Amino acid sequence: MSALLQVTGLTAHYGDFQALFGVDLTLDQGQTLAIIGANGAGKTTLMRAITGIARVTGGSVLLDGQRLDRMAAPEILHAGVAMVPEGRRLFPSLTVEENLRIGAHARQGSGFWTLPRIHDLFPVLRDRRDHPATALSGGQQQMVAIGRALMANPRVLLCDELSLGLAPVVIREIYAAFPAIRDSGTAIVVVEQDIGQALKVATRVHCMMEGRITLSGAPADLGREAIHDAYFGVRQG
Ligand SMILES: Nc1ncnc2c1ncn2[C@@H]1O[C@H](COP(=O)(O)OP(=O)(O)OP(=O)(O)O)[C@@H](O)[C@H]1O
């Protein structure tokens, strides 16, 4: 059986600067993949390359066999890959519900994720539906950003640094929604700086350093030392 998302030999550049060096990864339906790594490792660039925002200069990205790396960002979203960007990027002048409905513009046909289902996933968004999105707490805004991406009914949901700046209790609340998202048939890729959190939610973990994947495996098979080496490149202590 071929993978849902297959990334092969992906390279990406910002001008002359090469940020990704031949990245390979596969994601199957029902999987949650975590990408971990220090600042500047290339995690965000990888998400941006998959979604057509960063310039792909080599390799390929296939969704169910369909070539994405030659498409523009809006086409990739239509094809079924949606991203929750770092910093959420909500529309500040719109309400919570308007932000969610904007996500639906990218959907193709019918699908599991509807406004009532987003409200069931994050009930606070039902209560706050008429509030300006920016009046919500950071965690609630993150829920809107996830809901907006889900409204496109993606086959793959890419989440960049969901936990950034949020309290542990809020992070737990957000990650508690993951099983329901996976059960809906949407596979997930999370970029996470919190290694513990990544190991908890992921079926597979990839560690990145300097634009390359330096370690991959199931959380249970990855030792602390191996992760440390792959993350920092050197063993300390
Ligand atoms: N717009 C840009 N122009 C030029 N270089 C960039 C740009 N964005 C990122 N880079 C560089 O590409 C490399 C990878 O950055 P990237 O943001 O993908 O890393 P990251 O692992 O997501 O780190 P962080 O957690 O800090 O976001 C870094 O060296 C960074 O300085």
Q: What's the 73 CA to ligand 1 centre distance in angstroms?
A: 19
Among the atoms of ligand 1, which is closest to the Cα of residue 44?
A: 22
Q: What's the 45 CA to ligand 1 centre distance in angstroms?
A: 6
Q: Is residue 175 part of a domain?
A: yes
Q: Is residue 213 part of a domain?
A: yes
Contact 186, 155 (CB under 8 A): yes
pLDDT band at 237 (very low <50, low <70, confident <90, very high): very low
Q: Could you report the per-residue pLDDT of 119-149, keeping only the tens digit for each?
A: 999 999 999 988 998 888 989 999 999 999 9
For residue 112, CA distances in Å to 89, 101, 141 come to: 24, 15, 22
Is 87 touching ligand 1 by the criterion CB < 6 Å? no
C-alpha 222: how far from chain center = 21
Domain count of the fold of the chain: 1
Report ipTM for this prediction.
0.94
Q: What is the pTM of this model?
A: 0.92
Instruction: Read off the pLDDT of each residue in 204-219 and give the average, rounded to a whole number.
Output: 92
Q: Is residue 237 part of a domain?
A: no
Report CA dihedral (203, 11, 148, 106) to the nearest 10 degrees. Answer: -120
Q: Whose CA is nearest to atom 3 of ligand 1?
A: 14
Q: Is residue 150 part of a domain?
A: yes
52 versus 165: the higher-pLDDT residue is 52
**Can you give the CATH number for the domain in which 211 is found?**
3.40.50.300
Mutate to test the pocket of ligand 1, among 18, 35, 44, 232 (most ligand atoms within 8 A of CB): 44
Q: What's the 40 CA to ligand 1 centre distance in angstroms?
A: 5
Q: Whose CA is nearest to atom 4 of ligand 1?
A: 14
What residues make up the domain containing 189? 5-232
Q: Is residue 124 part of a domain?
A: yes
